[in-house]
Amino acid sequence: MKAQFRKYTSYAIVEMALIIVGILVALQINNWNTERRDEATLQSYLGSIARNVRADLTKVRSLHAEREEAMFNAMRVDGTISNRASLDVDDIFFFNKAATSAQDRLYFRADKSGYEALKSSGVLDRLQGRDIETLLSDYYDTVSWIENYEKDFNEVIREIALRFNIDMPSDIESYAFFNPSALAPQRFEALQPVFSQRINGPLARALILSHLGNYELLRQYGKLLALGHAYNRMVEVGSMEFDAAILDEIRDRDVRAGDSTIIEAGRLNLRTYFLGQASSIGGGTFGLDSVQLSENSLRLAYDGGPEWATFYVSPLTIEEGRASLDYSRFDRLVLELKGDVGGETITVAIKDREGRDDEAPPSVDVTLGDTWQIYEIELASFPPVDLDALHVPISFVFARDRGPVAFLVRSARYVASQ
């Protein structure tokens, strides 16, 4: 009996073990199926977000271009039209163009449908602790910053524009500002004080110059583009973690470090720099024709009037005193230039934070051809200058004794040897 009992007990134990193993296998298969289903669901949501992000980036690129144009227009008005003793028809036409674009209220509205669906799906916790979660959070935090900034900025613009348009002079022809070429020459000259008062009035200045403060918005657009590109790349390669290339694209850079790109395709990098002008006779040196965008290049012209004059690029920073950035990691300034006719000699100068405005800055002369050429200037070629704190990373200096000169800039950038 005992042997038979032991035999039945052994069978029962084996059968129970098989049942337990079967249950464990079934649970494992169920867990594996659930894992696979949840992973497929997560990938579906991530793909949906990627489609939203691609649409967002298309909008951001368009907004970036429009904001840049408004800033460049404001820069030209401020540097070449404002406070001039006499205005011509082109000046007034351009002011109206700048004032009209300054009144445009532009809004970025991101498509958050995919991200909101992911948050309510129950699979969001699968991203916890992974790089892609941090990236998504940073992306939509940047979206919120842009949307809130634009809402506040557009409300300010709306109020200024309303007052500016109501404040139109009532004792002049209704078309005088919008079509000054239709005025008789004598009448146009008689209205010069009215034109000047309108263009230099506080409302016009507030409307135009408000756009010069949008460089932080352009930076946030650039950040969103970098984050969006990085996210889409991660989804494309099926990675939840950053690789070296992605990190290089999105990592925070030292805010004291100067951006290597100053001008690209004729457009000033308005996220970091502004274009200024100065001369021996103060303001009003350059006219509207002195600063023009032409076929992916920036045309600069000096008519030979004042003893000396300069166009300079300076960084946009929040530091007090003379703004400066660190360019010590670079060893060359690379320019793509072309003379209007060829044979022009221009002076390229840089200046550190301690450089005095009443002293000639460290400079190098460059002779231009009549076709596009690359000019590489070793920074060691400039007289001693503190590259850790450049106040003017590039300027073009003109002198009366050299006569008038006009030339085009396609690109200007700092580079480091490999």
**Residue 402, both tokens:** 């050299």
One-letter amino acid for residue 25 of the chain: V
Inside any domain, residue 14: no
Q: Which residues have a Cβ under 8 Å from the Cβ of 189 and sit 6 or more positions away? A: none
- Among 223, 250, 277, the domain-final residue is 250
What are the tens digits of pLDDT across the range 44-67?
A: 888 999 999 999 999 999 999 999
Q: What is the mean pLDDT of residues 187-196?
A: 92
What are the tens digits of pLDDT across the range 218-272?
A: 889 989 998 999 999 888 888 878 766 666 665 554 455 668 899 999 999 988 8
Inside any domain, residue 12: no
Q: What is the CATH number of the domain that holds 305?
A: 2.60.120.430
Shared domain for 62 and 143, answered yes or no, is yes
3-class SS at 298?
Answer: strand
Q: How many domains does the chain have?
A: 2
Shared domain for 85 and 152, answered yes or no, is yes
Residues 119 and 100: their CA atoms lie apart, in Å, by: 42
- DSSP characters for 43-104? HHHHHHHHHHHHHHHHHHHHHHHHHHHHHHHHHHIIIIITT-S---HHHHHHHHHHHHHHT-
260-264, 284-288, 323-327, 329-333: least confidently modelled range: 284-288
**Residue 194, both tokens:** 């009215």
What are the tens digits of pLDDT across the range 344-365?
A: 999 999 999 888 877 788 899 9
CA distances from 193 to 169, 187, 200, 369 (A): 12, 11, 10, 43
pLDDT of residue 33: 47
Inside any domain, residue 8: no
Residues 192 and 210: their CA atoms lie apart, in Å, by: 25
What are the tens digits of pLDDT across the range 102-155?
A: 999 999 999 999 999 988 887 778 778 888 888 899 999 999 999 999 999 999
- Among 250, 280, 297, the domain-final residue is 250
Structural domain of 167: 43-250
Inside any domain, residue 124: yes
pLDDT of residue 254: 47
For the entire predicted model, the pTM comes to: 0.79
Shared domain for 90 and 237, answered yes or no, is yes
**Residue 75, both tokens:** 């820069």
pLDDT of residue 30: 52
**Residue 187, both tokens:** 């009448």
Count of Cβ atoms closer than 10 Å to residue 232 Cβ? 16
**Residue 362, both tokens:** 């460290």
Percent of the chain at pLDDT > 70 equals 85
Which of 244, 243, 291 has its CA nearest to residue 267?
A: 291
Shared domain for 347 and 388, answered yes or no, is yes
Rg (the chain; Cα; Å): 31
Q: Answer yes or no: is pLDDT of 332 > 50.
A: yes
44-53, 71-80, 251-260, 285-294: least confidently modelled range: 251-260
Shared domain for 161 and 109, answered yes or no, is yes
